[in-house]
Every structure is written in structure tokens, then in C-alpha cells.
Structure 1
Amino acid sequence: MEKFRELGVSEEMLKGIADLGFETPSPVQEKAIPVILGEENDLVVLAQTGTGKTAAFGLPLLQKIEPEWNNVQVLILSPTRELCVQIGNDLKNYSKYRKDIRVTCVYGGTDIKRQIKDLQRGVHVVVATPGRLVDLLNRKAINIESVFAVVLDEADEMLNMGFQEDLDFILSNTPKEKNTYLFSATMPKEVERIARNYLVNQQEISVGKKNQGADTVSHQYYMVRAKDCYETLRRIIDCAPSMYAIIFTRTKNDAQEIAKHLQRDGIDCDALHGDLSQAQRDSVMNAFRAKRLKVLVATDVAARGLDVDTLTHVINYNLPEDVESYTHRSGRTGRAGKEGISIAIIHSKEKGKLRRVENMLKKEFKYMSVPGGEEICRAQLAFYADKILTSEEYEDMDVYAQDVYDKFAEFTKEELLRHLVSYEFGRLLQKYKNTNDLNIEDDDRGGRSERGDRRDRRGRDGDTVYSTFTLNVGREDGLTPKDLMSLINKYSRRRGIGVGGIRIFDTDTKFEIDEESASDFEVDFSKVLFNGIPLEIKAIPTRDRGRRRDDRGRGNFSGRRDRRSNDRGGDSRDRGGRREDRGGSGNGGKRRGRPGSDPKKPRNFNRSSSRS
């Protein structure tokens, strides 16, 4: 604790952090604490998630509080309620021996009236999410005109989430004579604008380099066909029995679906996304922190502020839309000095995005081969053997030992081991007995495997074979290839379906689905609406596939126009009651073709790649 004392941390604060197990300051704490304690400069701190930023600003600011002055003196803004609560709890623990300092958190998703009552009792430090604080300011329920310090924690993430206007409004309600401390993992232009407009004579502290990942994280990638992404994910998890990881997805629907499939495959996991109530989120997080869950499937927003320092892996099931988000994702592992692995599962069309992430991080990702069955079984068996070797011995076992010896007396050691392995791993060994090679060769990195995605549609030598389907909506119903892909990704029970050709005619559509996914494809869409029209998807029998490509199939959907006149409305709802706003039919039920469209003229055969 001597180094903390040398930085100027008070005795009361030293006691609080000693109870938390702090011994020596992290690099960001060592650099930031003296500046905040002793100088009147504003500060920009660039440091990765998990480097101890909360203590870097929390310890000195708590120490500067004047308890007898019963006003909000310190304002801390964070992007999510999870991070908000985490910061608030940390500050309360640091000031455990300063009973005269009051800290409160205000955030969305909970009763605002209770938060207003807390504020009315008088507080010195407010930790807030931008949206809820704006609401409180508009209600005149909080006064921040007396703060001497404002902290913008995870500033880049707040701007990514669209809080720029809220931040401008909040900062305009604070006094000019204050210190502003901006903490961020990356430094995009929007963060530079905030620093330029609201910070005065700022110093900059950087732990590592701008927009660069932590040195304790190694970066790997697997390149496969889009339809094989889920199978690749499952193999990666099975090949790392001691994995404790977060799997990141772009959307909450993906998070739900992947978690559901992993649970079905016997993997302890759950999903974390924005649709969960606070009680549900707390339940999932408590199970994950207690390691009752092996993996957590989460969206970027939901995973902000997770205070878990022991993750072994982060898996990017989808690369994020903006490359800066990758830094936040990978920063969830390799924390507190531990080593971590960040994995990206990509298909060939995402290579460009991967290269942009590499350029930003100034790190090269290592190409990895998707594990095969033998590799997975060896890893699982070795893990099982280690668990047996390190298991505790119980004295009470002596009572039952002779019964066990008698039971297995006729077996040799080798026979007994084979029985144990068969009993424990029979299904696993059977599942991975004959596995396909899922890899796609990355020519730029010298990866080795089949060149699958250039031959997908040949239908020979084990490559993808497609089945053809018809759909009872078309161009006049507002359907586009993007809409069709969205419907397939949303409602199909299978992940990563391979989509071949798409032909959208005036009143119907033909498209191709990989034959593996075709068996239960029609059933998945039995109750789905598109712009008010109940979808009818039918497979074209093999004998009919030889018909001319420009066969529109007019008249194949009897009663279709009657259904449209009865069911279509300006907006429609899907199976779960959610509104589907496709923009294709807001005409009060009238059909309207494109200007100049000729129903007799064949349409182009649009190609669309599969999406995960």
C-alpha cells in the first residue's frame, strides 16, 4: 500500500482499498491520481477496459469531497446502467470509512421516483447514464450547477450509442469553472470534438497507444462459410473445456438464438440483451459470475460494465459494425494482468473488415484451423483426466471402497479406464466421429483447407447443393432481396443458412436454399406476415426445377389477391406481436408497381451471399 500512500491517497481511502485487496497501483492509477489530486488541469485518459480506471478517478475525487457542503459536487457519466451500478458500488467501497460521503446512482429501467427521493436526501456524488440524467434535469429534480468535477467514463462508447446531444445538454448545465476528466479506450473524432469543446488546458495520459488493444490479449480468427459459423462456434467451445467466455453478437435476436442452440447442445449458457428486465439481467449475471454458466451470449450494449476479470476468451460471432467496438469487446479478457484470447469467426467477405481492425489495433490476427473431431475429443479427455487427478479425497470413501473394489475386481486397469471413458464421453466421441473440414483457406495468410466458397453451387464432390422454393410475395408487395434475407435470418430455426439465387418477380419470388437447411424450412414460416400478407413458402419438386428461369409461376397462388385485400394494412405484426415496418406497402392495400415496369419483361436473377 506504500505506493498508494506515496501518490497522496488518504488513510481512510487506503483502508477501503486494502479491504478490496489492492496492493500496488496500476499504470493508469499511478499516472492519473497525482494529476487529479494536485493539479487543476482537465484530463484525457486513454486506457483499455479493465485497467483500473474507476479507482484512477474515484479515489482522488472522493478525497476532494467537502461533506459539509450538501450539494452534488462530482458527476460521473457512464454509457450503461450496468457500468453505472458498478462504478457506484466501487466508490462506496473505496469510501467505506468515510461515512459522511454519500454516493447515488441514477439510470433507466428502474423507478425514477425512488431515485428522485434519494437525490432529495442530499448526495455528494452522482453516477448517471445520460438519458436518465437528462430526464431528471428536465424535471428540475437535480441540480448540477455546483459540481467541481465531471467524469466522462467510456466516452467513446457513449457517443457510439448516440448520446452526443445528451452529453452536450448535460455539460451545458454544469459550471464553466470545473474540471472535466475524459476516460476512453479509443479516440475517434467525436471524442476529440468533446475534448476540444469542453476541456481546458487538458493533459493527456495514455496507457498503451491510441486505439490499440491490450498486450495481454492474443487475437485469432477462423474463416469459414457463413452457414458453418454456428458449427465452428460449437467446436471452438468444445475444444476448450475450461473456457469462461463472452460471445458477442450484433443483435439481440442473434444472442437469443445462439444461446438457445448452445443450450440445446448441452452447453451451460444464457443470453444477455436489452429486452431483459433488470431482475432478469441480474439473475443471468449472478449465474455467470458464479461460473454456473460457461459462456454468456451478449450484445455490445448489454455487455458494457460487466465486472468480470477472469474471462479466458472473447468470441466475436459477428465482427462489430464499427472497428472501435472490437477494442471494447476484446478488452473484456486479458484483465488484471491475466492472459486472454479474442477470437473472430468470419467468412471470406469479412476479410476487409478484419484487416481494418488489425490496422487500428496495430496487431496481426493469427489464422486458426477449425478443430476437428479428434482434436476436440483429445482436449475433452485430457480435461476430464486432470479433474480426476486433482479431485479431493474424502475419508468417508473408505467405508464404500471395498464395495467398489469388489464390483470392478474382474477388470484390468486398461479395461476399467475404457469403460469410464465410454460412459462419460460416449456421446461426444460418437458426435465427432466423422467431422467435416469447415475451413476456408485464407490465401493472404497461408491457411490450409478446402477452397469451399468458390464452388458452393456446383453440387459435386461434396460441395453445396441447393433446393428451390417459391414465395407468394414479390416486387409489387415491396419485397427486396434484403427483406428476404432478413426474413430468413429472423425466422429460420437453423443458423447460417446458405442462400443461392434470388429472383423477385412482380407477384412472387423464387430463391435457393442449401439442401441441408431445406427439410424444415417451410414450417418455420407458417405464421409469418410480410406487409400484412401471410407467407406461403413451397419447395419446387426436383422434376419441376428444369423449367425456364424466367417462369414467373403466375396463378400458382390461388386466392392470393383476396387474402391481401382482407389482411393487408399500413403496418403488420409478426408472430411475437412486434411491428414489421418494411416500407413496401403503406398504400392502404393498393398494389403499385415501379414506374415504367413491364410485367412481360423478365427480371434479373439477383445473387445474394449467405449471411450469418
Structure 2
Amino acid sequence: MNLFTETNLSPDILKAVGELGYESPTEIQKQTIPFILSDIRDLIALAQTGTGKTAAFSLPILDMIDDTSRKIQFLVLCPTRELCLQIAKDIKNYSKYMQNIKTTAVYGGSSIMEQIRSLKDKPQIIVGTPGRVIDLINRKALDFSAIHWLVLDEADEMLSMGFKDELETILSETPETKQTFLFSATMNKEVERISKNYLTKPHRISVGSINEVKKNIKHEYYVAGYRQKKEALKRLIDSNPNQYSIIFCRTRMETQEVADFLMQNGYAADALHGDLSQAQRDTVMKKFRLKNIDILVATDVAARGLDVNSLTHVIHFSLPDDPEVFVHRSGRTGRAGKDGISMALIKPEESRKLKQIKSATKIEIIEGKIPTGEAVIKAQVGGVFENLFAEHEDYFEFDDALIPDLSAFTKEELVHRLLQVQLKELAVYYKDRHDLLEQKLSSRDDDGSRRDRRDRDRDRGRDRDRGDRGERGERTGKPRRRNENMVRFFFNLGKKDQLKKLDVLEIINKATSGKGKKRAEIGDIEILEKFSFFEVEKTFKDNVLSNIPSMKFKGKDMRAEVAN
């Protein structure tokens, strides 16, 4: 079966699929569609994210559904609101020309009364998250007595999120005569137990096993000490311009910290994790899909259901414990036939974990060197020309007479001047900054294994200890650990004074400059509304304290004090 037209699907379904641009089925679709159309057995299908599972189970069921009946015949359970909405949207697209077919999505984080009202349209298809489906069962708003097909999508993720009891309750509410299809990326013990208890002699289909990873993804890893990781991340982002990426973190706290760091450094980034309200999550995901932001920092669970085909990079800020999760994450890039890059930031003491991932997945992960400032600027120049030579629409018109006389410049001189303007802030930031590994690794990570244990303990307790966090990432609560070689300063100017990061860098450089002196190392810069914080190498503490009060910024007096 190389073409959808070679299936036995109805003309209405084929017409809808054709308009969506589908021509050849994916491997999971090639095996699953004929099975569901012709077999009454239950099914276990193992396939990675992004392999076309929704079409694999929904197209044949849509072909067989009774559109004259107003009872629920087809139920899909999935772990997250985002995936629920995506599946419902896909099914509605596939059934576009099936006038009598209705699909309703039910999920938490939205008005249950509105969803109850939508069920009065008597849909034949329900797509839902386990918790909300249970709520609706308890309110007698859902009747599953006539179900013919039940799909458990992302079953492993539903179980890992603690939905075991909900799944068993829902399954007990459905007739034994139904056909059950379990779709999962992994076959762990809990998934195996569910399948033994609720599936009858299931047929198995396995597509894209863990050892059959995508060949069009380049895998790299970079070694950075714990205190270096954010700076290393910044360099990886800056040396890969024009990227559209997801950065994966282990915990909600770490996700927000990394997103805060990137936003404070001027990147179009945002966070996606479980501590956000549903409205905030929807806003972030919409911005990312529309490319209003080009970097999404997310936990593994929060990123479920985010279906984006044009990601250029996946960055593992923290390695996952499960090698299969590493494959899942990486597989979000390199879709739709495009090449992708997966980059992992690892601490020196995580080499064993990386070796386990390489052994389990058979992925060749090549070590890269964290870029120097010179390498970053070189990459950025290439990125400017990549953008320049790409095809662009004419978004506006202007009179060529507005272009000044440029005859005094050669084309090289003109390009040089334009690049100096375009890349000024990056150039100032990276000027005289040395190789991160040589500069910091030996002095900061001799106690690597001890710090790794401390980091793990901190990760376990972070959500208990975290302070309140505002929508834009401003923090209150326990102070983060500081670099012992740095001094953190309070600075009396902030956003209201039109202060930018580049301004702070120039102020610090001016305050710490002197004949024969090396340039001061500068750490985190955090610009808040009415004041700011910055970190400077300890040996330049007196220079900062004595020189900044004698300087002015846009006519305003400046004051710097050592922060508590």
C-alpha cells in the first residue's frame, strides 16, 4: 500500500485526506489501516511520536462508523489537553465531507458546563483526557454503552502522569464487545499490565523501534559544568542563528529559570510547564506555532501534543533518565523530510549516563566544542546572509529616492558597516571572551560528583522550595546559588530608565577598564522595572564601587552596591 488511493477507504475520506496533502501512508498507517478495516481483534501498536498515529487509527474507524446513529461509538483517551485538541482537530479534518459525523473534545482547564452543552449535539466521537472524562461520567453526561472502538493514545504517558485509576474506571464503563487499540511509544510494565487486563489476545504492530532512529538528525553533545550551562546554552543558540527550537529541561523550576535567562538576554523565548495556568499555556503554544517566539523551553510532559513540523533544533538542557525519552525529544526535529540537529548539554559527571543512552539507542552522538566568541560572530555573519538571500515577500513599497547616495562606498565597505550595526550587541558581549571550557571548567567542577548529588537533591525539592513567580519571570523566594568568583551588585536603574543589557555591559566595561588591566568577567545581568542586578568578577569589585557613582546614564546618577 504505497498510496492512500489503494486503500479501501471511502471516497469522502480520500477526498479530505487528499486536500490535506497526504499521498503515501506512513509505516504505521500501512500496517494499521488494513488491520482495523479487516480484523476484530484488539491491537497494540508501538510507534514513536510524529509517525502519523492519529490517521492510522481514525481513518479506518471513520470508514466503518454508523453516521445514522446518534450514540457515542468511538472514544479516544489521551494524556494532555493539547494532544486532545490536536486529535479532535485532525479527526474533524478527516471527516470533513462526512456531514453527519460529529466530534467533541472534552478536557480539563475549560468550562465543564460548556462541554456538557456541546454533548447535547450527540457526537459519535469523543476525544478526551482521563480526568475530564471521569468528571463527565460522574455527572451522567457521557454514556459509553454503545462504544465499538476505544483508543488509548500515548498510553505510556497517561500512566506516567498518574492516570492509572482513571483509565481503569473508564475501561470498566465500556462494553466488553468493544475493540480496544493501545498506542504507545514504549512498552513498560504498567502498559503491559493494562494490556493484559483489558485487551483480549491483541495483535501487535511495532514501527520505528528505539534502534531505528531518524537518519536525518545530527546528534551532538557539549560538556559544560553546572554553573556554565546557561552561558554554554547562550553560545549554542548564538552560533546556530535562525533556529526554531525546543529546549527540554527536567523540572518545572529549571524550565522557568532557563526561559527567564533567555528572555532577560533578549531572546524570543518562553516557558511551557505544569505550573502555568491553562490560559498561559494556550498563549505560549499559540505564540510558538505562529513563530512569534522561536525558542520554547519545556518539560517533556508539557510538550506532549505540540505538533510542529519545522523545528530546526532540539536542545537537551538536561539529559533524561530514560534513553527512549531522548529519542522522543530528538525526534521532534527532522520531520517532513527535513534535516534536524539534536544538541545535548552534559555535565562532566554525566558521561556515564550519555554512554548508556548511546548504547541503548545506537545513536552516534558526536562531541562538539562550546563555541568561542569569535566562532559565534562568524556564525552570526553567515546567518545574516542566509536571511538576506532567502526568498522574501515584498511587505511594503518605498520610493527608491529614499535610498541615499552610496557611491562613496564599495560593496564590501557597505556590507561591513551594515554588519557592524546588525551585530553590535553580540560583538560587544563576546569581545575578548575566551573559551568557556578552558576558562571555567577546571576551577568550578572539581567537585563534580558531589555537586551532581546536590543538584539531584535540589531538583527533587525544588517545587516545594520555589518562591512565587510573576508572569514575566520576576522572582521572589530563595536566592539562587552564586558563583564564588563573582560579586553580585544592585544597580539603581532599570527598564523605566530605558536601560538595556548592552548599556549595562558598556557601563561595566567602562568602570572596570584601565591601562594594563584585563577585561573583567561579567556574569548574569537581570534588568527589572525600577532597578537591576549584575555580576562582575570579584577582583574588579572596588573598581565598580568607586567608578560607577562618578558616571551618568542619560543624565541620571548611577549607584552600585554589593547585593545581599
After TM superposition, is the score higher than 0.5?
yes
Name the CA distance, whole Å, in 1 between partners of 2:392 and 2:5: 42
Name the CA distance, whole Å, in 2 between partners of 1:312 and 1:519: 36
State yes or no: 1:339 paired with 2:328. no
SS of corresponding position for 1:386: helix
Name the CA distance, whole Å, in 1 between partners of 2:403 and 2:75: 65
Larger radius of gyration: 1
Deviation of the 1:107 alpha carbon: 0.6
Deviation of the 1:517 alpha carbon: 4.7
State yes or no: 1:365 paired with 2:365. yes
Asked if structure 1 preserves the Cα contact closer than 8 Å seen for 2:2 and 2:25, the reply is no
Name the CA distance, whole Å, in 1 between partners of 2:105 and 2:398: 55
Match of 1:515 among 478, 484, 487: 484
Name the CA distance, whole Å, in 2 between partners of 1:364 and 1:163: 35
Structure 2 matches for 1:19-34, cutoff 5 A?
19-34=19-34
Closer, same or farther: CA 399–226 of 1 in aligned 2, 3 Å: same
The one-letter code sitting in structure 2 at the alignment partner of 1:430 is: V
Closer, same or farther: CA 187–404 of 1 in aligned 2, 3 Å: same
Asked if structure 2 preserves the Cα contact closer than 8 Å seen for 1:51 and 1:335, the reply is no
Q: Deviations over 1:363-414 (max 9, x none)?
A: 232211111111111111011123223465979978425x5352x3323333
1:81 matched residue in structure 2:
81
1:161 matched residue in structure 2:
161
State yes or no: 1:411 paired with 2:409. yes
2:129 matched residue in structure 1:
129
1:203 matched residue in structure 2:
203
Closer, same or farther: CA 95–486 of 1 in aligned 2, 3 Å: closer
Asked if structure 1 preserves the Cα contact closer than 8 Å seen for 2:225 and 2:444, the reply is no
Asked if structure 1 preserves the Cα contact closer than 8 Å seen for 2:228 and 2:440, the reply is no
Closer, same or farther: CA 211–61 of 1 in aligned 2, 3 Å: farther
Q: Which runs of 5+ in 1 are unaligned?
A: 440-448, 459-479, 494-510, 524-612
Structure 2 matches for 1:6-405, cutoff 5 A?
6-210=6-210, 213-390=213-390, 399-401=399-401, 404-405=403-404
Q: Which runs of 5+ in 2 are unaligned?
A: 448-455, 470-479, 493-564
Name the CA distance, whole Å, in 2 between partners of 1:60 and 1:483: 45
More helix by share: 2
Closer, same or farther: CA 35–289 of 1 in aligned 2, 3 Å: same
The one-letter code sitting in structure 2 at the alignment partner of 1:339 is: D
Name the CA distance, whole Å, in 2 between partners of 1:209 and 1:100: 38
SS of corresponding position for 1:168: helix
Name the CA distance, whole Å, in 1 between partners of 2:464 and 2:79: 33
Deviation of the 1:455 alpha carbon: 6.6
1:496 matched residue in structure 2:
none
1:504 matched residue in structure 2:
none
Which range is displaced more, 167-176 or 326-335?
Answer: 326-335
Asked if structure 2 preserves the Cα contact closer than 8 Å seen for 1:212 and 1:327, the reply is no
2:555 matched residue in structure 1:
none
SS of corresponding position for 2:220: strand
Closer, same or farther: CA 398–166 of 1 in aligned 2, 3 Å: closer
Deviation of the 1:362 alpha carbon: 2.7
SS of corresponding position for 2:436: coil
The one-letter code sitting in structure 1 at the alignment partner of 2:434 is: N
Deviation of the 1:109 alpha carbon: 0.5
Asked if structure 2 preserves the Cα contact closer than 8 Å seen for 1:212 and 1:360, the reply is no
Closer, same or farther: CA 514–151 of 1 in aligned 2, 3 Å: same
Provide the identity percentage.
46
Closer, same or farther: CA 182–291 of 1 in aligned 2, 3 Å: same
Name the CA distance, whole Å, in 1 between partners of 2:67 and 2:404: 70
The one-letter code sitting in structure 2 at the alignment partner of 1:229 is: K
Runs of 4+ in 1 over 6 A off after TM superposition: 393-398
Name the CA distance, whole Å, in 1 between partners of 2:194 and 2:395: 65
Deviation of the 1:139 alpha carbon: 2.4
The one-letter code sitting in structure 1 at the alignment partner of 2:268 is: D
Deviation of the 1:490 alpha carbon: 4.7
Asked if structure 1 preserves the Cα contact closer than 8 Å seen for 2:225 and 2:445, the reply is no
Which range is displaced more, 1-10 or 227-236?
Answer: 1-10
Root-mean-square deviation (CA, aligned residues, Å) is: 3.1
Q: Deviations over 1:316-361 (max 9, x none)?
A: 1122344443333223222223222222211122223323333332
Closer, same or farther: CA 492–176 of 1 in aligned 2, 3 Å: closer
Deviation of the 1:283 alpha carbon: 2.2
Asked if structure 2 preserves the Cα contact closer than 8 Å seen for 1:245 and 1:296, the reply is yes
SS of corresponding position for 2:403: helix
Deviation of the 1:271 alpha carbon: 1.4
Match of 2:436 among 435, 438, 458: 438
Closer, same or farther: CA 14–284 of 1 in aligned 2, 3 Å: same
Deviation of the 1:172 alpha carbon: 1.6
Normalised TM-score (structure 2): 0.77
Deviation of the 1:9 alpha carbon: 1.4
Asked if structure 1 preserves the Cα contact closer than 8 Å seen for 2:251 and 2:459, the reply is no
Name the CA distance, whole Å, in 2 between partners of 1:203 and 1:324: 23
Asked if structure 2 preserves the Cα contact closer than 8 Å seen for 1:51 and 1:336, the reply is no
Name the CA distance, whole Å, in 2 between partners of 1:390 and 1:323: 37
The one-letter code sitting in structure 1 at the alignment partner of 2:427 is: L
The one-letter code sitting in structure 2 at the alignment partner of 1:432 is: Y
Asked if structure 2 preserves the Cα contact closer than 8 Å seen for 1:240 and 1:379, the reply is yes
